[in-house]
Amino acid sequence: MSQLTKDAKTRLMYLENKDGDIDGHVARIGWVTFSRSGRSVYYRGRTLTRMKGGGVMGNYVCSETGDEFWVSGVKKRGSNVHWASPVEVHIDDDAVEAYRELCMGSTSGSCL
């Protein structure tokens, strides 16, 4: 179990498909669930498995498509996207309220 999965069965996370999109968006913030071991993340019908040794551009791989994904915790300061490859982030409808609540504690007061 890692810091990402510690004491959480579901968690609000940032996900970015490094090889394509996630249902029409390159990057999303949404709810994920974890396998018991914490090595797999489940999101919108996909199983993302932790890559051993890391990938070229991501830290997880989709077991169905082979696409590499970057999965990380949501940053309060709103800088989830890598500065070198900015993408538009879509926040899932069921995650907007939780994301706003998380951001209200940030120094900027909002990260939307």
Domain residues for 72? 10-104
In a domain, 14, yes or no: yes
Token pair, residue 39, equals 């090595």
Would residue 68 count as lying in a domain? yes
Domain count, the chain: 1
- pTM summary value: 0.81
Give the span between the Cα atoms of 47 and 45, in whole angstroms. Answer: 7
Residue 109 is assigned to a structural domain of this protein: no
Please give the chain's pLDDT, 112 residues, in tens: 454 545 558 999 999 998 999 999 999 999 999 998 888 999 999 999 998 876 666 789 999 999 999 998 888 776 677 666 778 899 999 999 999 888 876 555 556 5
Domain contains 112 = no
Q: Is residue 19 part of a domain?
A: yes
Residue 5 lies in a domain: no
Burial 86-98, CB ≥16 within 10 A → b, else e: eeebbbbeebeeb
Q: Is residue 89 part of a domain?
A: yes
Quick check: is 16 in a domain? Answer: yes
Answer yes or no: are the C-beta atoms of 78 and 108 closer than 8 Å. Answer: yes
